[in-house]
Amino acid sequence: MPDFFYRGRDAEGRQVEGFQDAASQSALVQLLRRQDITPTRIEVAKKKRSAKTQSGPVAKDDALPWLTRVLRRRVKLDELIMFCRQMHALTRSGIPLMRAINGLADATASPRLSQVLTDVARSLTQGNTLSMAMRAHPDAFNDLFVSMIHMGETTGRLDSAFQQLIGHLEREKDTRKRLSAATRYPLFVSVSITLAMLTVTFKVIPAFSGVFASLGAELPWPTRVLIGTSNFMLTSWPYLLVLITAAVYGLMRWKRTPKGAIHWDHGLLKLPLLGRLFERIALGRFARPFAMMLDAGVPMLQALQVSARTVGNRYIGSGIEQMVTGIERGESLLTTASSSGLFNPLILQMIAVGEETGNVSELLVDIADFYDQEVDYDLKRMTELIEPILLAFMGIMVVILILGVFLPMWDLGSAYGS
């Protein structure tokens, strides 16, 4: 049998490659599929394998330099929306799939998306379906995207699948824009306050401390606090920088662990002002894609599993995965949703009505609309509350600086006048 070299992606999206004996390329594709590997490249091996290069997949992503993995650009949401619009128009017009993918790979202005589509086209030539080819690129196409494409292929309505994805991605883009607009002003003010405090600490206070020391009198407590803080920062900033860097690095490593990610996302839900907002955004991301997949004919268990990975919050995702376990035991959607503790009584009542009438997907769309309205309200309320809080904080900082800097001068002026 001929010896083949292959490269592909495993079930976790990692790039793997290796050598394998097979009767033909088609037989190798079937063999790799049984191993949950989506091949992106297959060719006859040009030279014999060495003793070190045995059959079987070898993960390659972990061997990439750390900086390369960090800097590798992801496909932007706008680029993905434009790709779906173009694919919807092409598939609706009856353009062959291979021709459509190759044409978009050449026409797109995004180098990363062009590379992804080129790999997808190569995978199609090797006998893979479009959903299998896309599954090999989880950084561009998430589980929801792949599941919708798979159902479009199964039902022969690929153009409808792309149309539904357009609506979902545009709503996701709108949510991100609203969240960015609501946090832009508080972030700007916070950065400005931080820079002002650092400037005062490292430049202004050291200049005044020499003058205050020459007075020979006891300084007011605000001045002593400012001078002590400034001296501590001037002498200890290298150690503080190392400590902060180590703490941030440790936190990021902890967040990458399954347990750490769940605890971190649970903590985000408990933040004042922001916690309820994050929760409603995540539940909205669950309800609408869940309804979309049910409408497309995706089985409920698979739809729940995919939704759990696309909500953007691992804690809520783990609660949805517990719903999957309950449904597998034969419980109803209402029972599992109630036991998860994620939904309020109003939402549970809507789910109950949906199960009784057989229109669960329609009620889920109403639930998603309800969460969207609540997110709009929370964003406006958050903006209204944060502005006076930031202004009060700025006022307190200014008062402390004024008292610390000018009280000794006033005391000196009074002493000189007397």
User: How far is residue 317's CA from residue 310's CA, in Å, rounded to a whole number?
Assistant: 8
Half-sphere exposure of 397 (CA within 13 A, CB side): 16
Tell me the two tokens of residue 92.
């609706």
Output the pLDDT for position 334.
Answer: 86
Contacts of 367 (CB under 8 A, 6+ apart): 283, 287, 347, 350, 351
| pLDDT average, residue stretch 147-170 | 85
Grouping H, G, I as helix, E, B as strand and the rest as coil, residue 385 is helix
User: How far is residue 248's CA from residue 245's CA, in Å, rounded to a whole number?
Assistant: 5
Neighbouring CB atoms inside 10 A of 286's CB total 28
Residues of the chain with CATH 1.20.81.30: 77-170, 182-418
Question: Using an 8 Å Cβ cutoff, are 84 and 169 in contact?
Answer: yes
- What is the tens place of the pLDDT at every residue in 95-137? 888 889 988 888 888 888 898 999 888 888 887 888 888 888 8
Of 92-96, 198-202, 217-221, minimum mean pLDDT range: 217-221
Grouping H, G, I as helix, E, B as strand and the rest as coil, residue 41 is strand
In the DSSP assignment, the letter for residue 56 is S
Output the pLDDT for position 244.
Answer: 92
Question: Does the pLDDT of residue 52 top 60, yes or no?
Answer: no
* C-alpha distances out from residue 321 to 228, 327, 368, Å: 52, 10, 19
- What is the tens place of the pLDDT at every residue in 332-366? 888 888 888 888 887 888 888 888 887 888 888 88
Grouping H, G, I as helix, E, B as strand and the rest as coil, residue 4 is strand
Output the pLDDT for position 242.
Answer: 94
Q: Please state, for a pLDDT cut of 90, what percent of the chain lies above it.
A: 6
Neighbouring CB atoms inside 10 A of 114's CB total 15
Sign of CA dihedral 138, 140, 144, 149: negative
Task: Provide the pLDDT confidence category of residue 85 given band limits of 50, 70 and 90.
Answer: very high
Mean of the per-residue pLDDT values of the chain: 79
Sign of CA dihedral 153, 291, 324, 308: positive
User: How far is residue 80's CA from residue 98's CA, in Å, rounded to a whole number?
Assistant: 18
Question: Does the pLDDT of residue 387 top 70, yes or no?
Answer: yes
Amino acid at 224: R
Output the pLDDT for position 12.
Answer: 59
Spell out the alpha helix ranges (H) of 257-359. Answer: 258-269, 274-295, 300-308, 314-328, 333-340, 345-357
Choose which CATH entry (1.20.81.30, 3.40.30.10, 3.40.50.720, 1.10.132.10) describes domain 77-170: 1.20.81.30
User: How far is residue 295's CA from residue 289's CA, in Å, rounded to a whole number?
Assistant: 10
Neighbouring CB atoms inside 10 A of 123's CB total 27
Helix/strand/coil (H, E, C) string of 190-211?
HHHHHHHHHHHHHHHHHHHHHH
Between residues 81 and 299, the one the model is more confident about:
81
Neighbouring CB atoms inside 10 A of 37's CB total 22
Which element (helix H / strand E) includes 19? strand 15-21
Question: Using an 8 Å Cβ cutoff, are 31 and 22 in contact?
Answer: yes
Tell me the two tokens of residue 322.
């517990």
Most confident range (mean pLDDT) of 69-83, 159-173, 289-303 is 159-173
Check whether domain 182-418 has CATH 1.10.10.10, yes or no: no
61-65: long-range contacts, CB 8 A cutoff, minimum separation 24: 61/14, 61/15, 62/14
- In 3D space, the residue among 329, 371, 323 whose CA is nearest the CA of residue 350 turns out to be 371
Question: Does the pLDDT of residue 140 top 50, yes or no?
Answer: yes
At residue 330, φ and ψ (nearest 5 deg) are: 100, 5
